[in-house]
Structure 1
């Protein structure tokens, strides 16, 4: 078999595919001609459990459609060589957020066959006092269920808004959403839909409530059929720290378009920061009566770091600067970009803020940490036949999120250094996501000839439409799967890269989330910017 990026390649890009189970290959143009052929020496690959080799066909630059065959006649997925090969994927991966909107009808002129009725318009009540209700209208459904979570939402916004800050032109797409043609670029209008909901999760004293969900998950029904009461869980320092950071970041980006809204965001960020200062130790545990996703985290130091970096960018707050320096002594992860560990966002804030603002010593310290991680990832990628940045035990729940965040790290390393080896390694991670993997699947719905089709996503299962909504990223292989479709009994004999089930029941390998899509948006946007 030959595995490759089904979304295709730019003409000048480094182009790799992976050959397994045979030693010879032939590259065909769809017009009928043979373009290249060759022999490879196979070597065992631990992630896939297969004997494999890299095919390098970077010298093929003519635009068009192609496919490979191996010596046994097995045909690869078709792919294109074209400068616009990622356009469809970038559009779909951003439009995904519109399809996750809560609290409004998705009209046919924007959603096509995936139109649906408005949902969850009744607001929510405080878990500690049912007499207190808030409108709780809007925001994005977090994942395959209908919950909304501040920490997850802030992280998804962080991936997108840092991307917008670094390469805004690449993300100026017409998304065909209700706000299209307005004052805001479409991607900022989409992000505002989430920001407005998160704003409503803040108390007057600045503290931010952790999540708004039903007490238990509903069944696989359409969102407008979910009539379970929404409950608002208590305030947490995790949510408040992420809130302070994302509101400060957003205030800077939106100021160009709407001064009043930017002021609202900045004031909310300051209130959250003041709450954090007054509450130095305050975490979150899921209340016993609530069984939906917890997003628990027993350390808020990284959230405070991210908040401090963005508050310093907002106001040059010297207390925030001191907190940044003190937190760095704790040796937290300075390149993590997930919901549990957000230290990497603090580093991005320093990188984007620059040495002039943060000081040469701090800027250099954080950029060197970032580049050290990029070098580590590059070394792993050079050691296997998929040019992949994970080892077998690192296929966690949501492994594709880790792959895409690694791509982000490598893109930023390239921006810092202009070293093309970082860009190539970032490209290899996108290759994996779009089909250069042992499942021979594109892990983005609707993108590629062999895209996965059965996400753990309630609307896709309940809408009666065969094809899933395009643009959703699957969680991906999980070394320790734990659901009905993918479990230790039927996965234990499989290598890590094959512990995956394209089955809607498989929440531990095939769910979707907003913060698995957002790093894909960042990476695709960076490649669009670089290819100009």
Structure 2
């Protein structure tokens, strides 16, 4: 009866919703990832409305039976975003059954979507269709050749207009220009996708892109097409070309085989040499300062290709390695950026950084010391967390070198690179967590490319650390690309086949011939202010997304909008890597589910950072409550009383001056008598290492030992037994590998709180501005941290302060009872820090 009642009720609700939609303009919508969600992955939709009326519930409904199968969790209201007055996140991560579903919240009903292990299956190969369609020279989609006369040289050491054969490669976007910068980055991502995820790619094409398998994965065939063209653009040692064609190409749209004389040299196109000096930019000159940005890209793509061909084509591999080394040397000789040229308009790829390119090149060549030197010159990619940037200013949009180099290292240098990634992600997260879409990517040209790059950085950070702190942010950015955005559309042509995807892109293929451009990633939304300022932009048809445009950003599925709806080759290649990674993740998750193993969890059992442990056994639903104190300790009576009432044992780490403070000593004795753990927190609350340069240790080893001994002496004077000295949380919870080594040498186990749990922010006060976190904010963020994925708090160390500055009147320890009740309800038990770590098999009590 209950089953029938659910079906009947949902049928009525659906009929009501349909009638409402037919007679009244919709006021609310639900945005989803149209590709779907994996059973074990994060699953979040966004409810958004042009009204302040919030939904009271959200339910997941089986699309075949119309039965309610899950009551989704609604976040707190996030407020206005873009065209919407109110937004809420709808979390159904806890539901994992395979099937097809939709969500209903209030009057809004989402499109139907699948939950399945195969939602990403074949997606990377699908996007390869666009790469093949972008081929210059022989084009397998058209089964014809184009641009076979290229080209004539400019700015080189040879006489201008010297002919050079540079036929081949990929057209950059919907125009037919070709750039080393984007082509080398694309080739690298395709090569890396095959190296990292060979199992997800098929073989259905020949090397020339025509039908019939050739025994080589199609993605590797495609990468080879790009590499062969790059070799032509680097015809001899020291000769590097940066660009083929220029914006005179834009005079008219045509199918590429219809080569047109726009350059005054018959069917030849200009080939711009990497001169290291400014070249034409419309009425002005570009800001070229060297060639290293281009040379580094040549070197890294050649070096990676050399590795992959070493076993199958030795001679080709050796040639590529030689080319890589020579290109790297050229970059060393002429450091600086090599920008593109433009004859008629000011629009160029205004690349502004180059050390990231040389870092990747050095890492690919296994030149670790050189790579580290370049890495230190740009630790965090500058656009991360920024609101704007010039077109392709910080390209590539992700620092691939940090990932490749970190995989080669151990110890301090590896931790520094990983922390650089974390800092960049955190810059984005600080803005993203203020809106329901978790959006903090600037709406500049090619915002989708930036989104892919940032999502990939989150993925690589997770691979390097097994830290899942930013998993929901990573997934939100991927979801954005496939429909969980204000416009409710996928940004990839034809993916998924059943979804709302671009139909009228800025492309001659579709506009002139109605050819599909399967798999092409379009540029994506831009700031409305940018859109209004662009030259020659217009809409050919009525705007189907008019309801969802705003003063913040616009997206148009219209041929006339080259700023938001033009597909790009390099963005698509980067997306191919990301989709391959997601398909590989789904395969791993499915294997773990079927075999009853959890590789990720077992790897996290001993989670550490910079030599200190930051989580216990993540397979156990255990938490350790840790309280620290230095100057303030007014919360001790409240904390002690609540712990006693809840029958919970906790751990307390105080500085020497805290232990000596006579006003705190009654509370310290009460803690000791109640058998809570007490330990050291330094004597004078010293800062051990620089806030901005973590590997810069600010104290000598002797000073560290003396200060620690003074802390221990204060504990002895307070009557605390020596057995408690074996665990140590550093002052400011800030340390480096040097401090960790000193702790180990003195027999002390160094640990800190689990990142992302936010309770440590309870020391802040309102006058600190954006850094201030109220107790309500802390609790809600912690709940969301836990609810985004079951078990996310397993093994966590939660840090709370025993007292805070009087300027904070909203004391978090007053909410301790509420926190413990929530965690108990979620099934967590509590352990002292010594029991927490020793039961995990992580640390010993020595």
SS in 2 for 1:17: strand
Alignment partner, residue 43 of structure 1: 78
User: Mapping of 1:200-279 within 5 angstroms?
Assistant: 200-214=232-246, 216-218=248-250, 219-228=252-261, 229-235=268-274, 236=276, 237=291, 238-279=293-334
CA distance in 1 between partners of 2:229 and 2:325 (Å): 18
User: Mapping of 1:29-68 within 5 angstroms?
Assistant: 29-35=62-68, 36=70, 40=74, 42-47=77-82, 49-68=84-103
Instruction: Work out whether 1:20 is the aligned partner of 2:48.
Output: yes
Alignment partner, residue 457 of structure 1: 507
> 5+ residue gaps in structure 2?
1-28, 262-267, 277-290, 385-391, 588-846
Alignment partner, residue 395 of structure 2: 341
CA distance in 1 between partners of 2:223 and 2:438 (Å): 33
Q: Relative to structure 1, is the Cα distance of residues 443 and 327 closer, same or farther in structure 2, using a 3 angstrom cutoff? A: same
CA distance in 2 between partners of 1:75 and 1:299 (Å): 45
Q: Relative to structure 1, is the Cα distance of residues 58 and 285 closer, same or farther in structure 2, using a 3 angstrom cutoff? A: closer
Deviations 1:449-480 (A, max 9, x none): 21121221222222134xx3221111111012
SS in 1 for 2:103: strand
Alpha-carbon offset, residue 242 of structure 1? 1.2
CA distance in 2 between partners of 1:47 and 1:306 (Å): 37
CA distance in 2 between partners of 1:81 and 1:282 (Å): 45
User: Mapping of 1:319-330 within 5 angstroms?
Assistant: 321-330=368-377
CA distance in 1 between partners of 2:340 and 2:106 (Å): 56
Deviations 1:357-403 (A, max 9, x none): xxx4332221221123234444544432123343xxx1111111111
Alpha-carbon offset, residue 148 of structure 1? 0.8
> 5+ residue gaps in structure 1?
none
Picking from 359, 374, 378, the partner of 2:425 is 374
Alignment partner, residue 362 of structure 2: 308
User: Mapping of 1:367-446 within 5 angstroms?
Assistant: 367-390=418-441, 394-446=442-494
Alpha-carbon offset, residue 37 of structure 1? 5.2
Alignment partner, residue 83 of structure 1: 117
CA distance in 1 between partners of 2:181 and 2:112 (Å): 39
Alpha-carbon offset, residue 515 of structure 1? 1.8
Alignment partner, residue 182 of structure 2: 152
SS in 2 for 1:210: strand
Stretch moving more, 413-422 or 505-514: 413-422
Alpha-carbon offset, residue 89 of structure 1? 2.6
CA distance in 2 between partners of 1:328 and 1:202 (Å): 26
Deviations 1:67-100 (A, max 9, x none): 234432x442221111111124322222221111
CA contact (8 A) 1:183 1:257 kept: no
CA distance in 2 between partners of 1:193 and 1:47 (Å): 41
CA distance in 2 between partners of 1:309 and 1:518 (Å): 21
SS in 2 for 1:249: helix
SS in 2 for 1:94: helix
Alignment partner, residue 6 of structure 1: 34
CA contact (8 A) 1:283 1:299 kept: no
Picking from 554, 557, 561, the partner of 1:506 is 561
CA distance in 1 between partners of 2:555 and 2:122 (Å): 25
Alignment partner, residue 119 of structure 1: 146
Alpha-carbon offset, residue 193 of structure 1? 0.3
SS in 2 for 1:132: coil
Deviations 1:132-184 (A, max 9, x none): 21222211111111111000111122333333333332345546733863353
Stretch moving more, 25-34 or 173-182: 173-182
CA contact (8 A) 1:162 1:348 kept: no
User: Mapping of 1:465-484 within 5 angstroms?
Assistant: 465=515, 468-479=516-527, 480-481=530-531, 482=534, 484=537
- Structure with greater Cα Rg: 2
Alpha-carbon offset, residue 12 of structure 1? 1.7
SS in 1 for 2:371: helix
CA distance in 1 between partners of 2:383 and 2:238 (Å): 26
Alpha-carbon offset, residue 290 of structure 1? 6.4
SS in 2 for 1:68: strand
Picking from 561, 579, 584, the partner of 1:529 is 584
CA distance in 2 between partners of 1:330 and 1:124 (Å): 37
Q: Relative to structure 1, is the Cα distance of residues 523 and 50 closer, same or farther in structure 2, using a 3 angstrom cutoff? A: farther
CA distance in 2 between partners of 1:497 and 1:67 (Å): 29
Alpha-carbon offset, residue 417 of structure 1? 2.1
Alpha-carbon offset, residue 328 of structure 1? 4.0
Q: Relative to structure 1, is the Cα distance of residues 282 and 389 closer, same or farther in structure 2, using a 3 angstrom cutoff? A: closer
CA contact (8 A) 1:244 1:270 kept: yes
Deviations 1:230-288 (A, max 9, x none): 1101215132221112111221122232212111211111221222233345744526x
Picking from 485, 488, 500, the partner of 2:538 is 485
Q: Relative to structure 1, is the Cα distance of residues 221 and 331 closer, same or farther in structure 2, using a 3 angstrom cutoff? A: closer
Picking from 185, 195, 199, the partner of 1:169 is 199
TM-score normalised to structure 1 length: 0.86
SS in 2 for 1:53: strand
SS in 1 for 2:60: strand
Picking from 76, 80, 92, the partner of 2:126 is 92
CA distance in 1 between partners of 2:347 and 2:123 (Å): 28
Instruction: Figure out how many residues of one structure are paired with residues of the other and give that number.
Output: 504
Stretch moving more, 123-132 or 216-225: 123-132
TM-score normalised to structure 2 length: 0.56
CA distance in 2 between partners of 1:406 and 1:446 (Å): 23
CA distance in 2 between partners of 1:215 and 1:65 (Å): 47
Alpha-carbon offset, residue 411 of structure 1? 0.7
Deviations 1:107-155 (A, max 9, x none): xxxx4xxx45321111211135455212222111111111110001111
CA distance in 1 between partners of 2:295 and 2:335 (Å): 12
SS in 2 for 1:27: strand
